[in-house]
Amino acid sequence: MDPKKDAIRQALYPANMRNRPTPTGTWRPDVGRAIQHAIPSVQAHNTIERAWLLHRRHIRKRREAELARKFDCMKKAMDELANIDGHLYYEANRPENPRARSVVEQQMTKGLKASEAKTLDARIRGLFPRELRMPTDTPSKTGWNYHYKPFTRPI
């Protein structure tokens, strides 16, 4: 071993330093005694553990039941839409290519500036518009853009 490394190791980690309980609770030598005092038997510990798992299972089942109920309501609404108007049902369920553009959109992008075309290109229909800012308590440093016009996307 290198004597320099040994000297550094002894300076950083002296042998006489005792591990004491830290105020943040990261190291406690008496943790075994504390658990033994709080939960005296293995059976009690296992009972508490099973009760906790049962509680979590009940919460999970409740959440799954709520999601199934919402899905059933959505399915009923879509079936009703299919019965009322087949064209609207088809339009609501039509798979859409987010990168595809109509002829009208292609003509519109020819007249846009590069930054506006890039913004239009980055926008995916159906998602939250990226150009909208999150509401804040303080106004922006640049102020309000009074001349802003949202991009129209023809269907």
Note the pLDDT tens digit of each residue in 75-127.
999 999 999 999 999 988 888 777 777 788 788 888 888 887 787 777 776 67
- The dihedral built from the CA positions of residue 45, 50, 51 and 56, taken in this order, carries a sign that is positive
The Cβ-side half-sphere exposure at 89, using a 13 Å CA radius, reads 13
- 148 has a pLDDT exceeding 80: no
Q: Count Cβ atoms below 10 Å from residue 81 Cβ, excluding itself.
A: 16
108, 119 in Cβ contact below 8 A? no
pLDDT level of residue 45 (50, 70, 90 thresholds): confident
Return the pLDDT at 57. Answer: 98
Query: In 13-99, which ranges are continuous DSSP H helix?
Result: 31-38, 42-84, 86-93
Q: What is the pTM of this model?
A: 0.45
- CA separation (Å) from 112 to 36, 89, 103? 73, 34, 15
- Helix, strand, or coil (residue 123): coil
124 closest CA partner among 98, 93, 151? 98
116, 151 in Cβ contact below 8 A? yes
- 69 has a pLDDT exceeding 80: yes
For residue 35, what are its two tokens?
């658990």
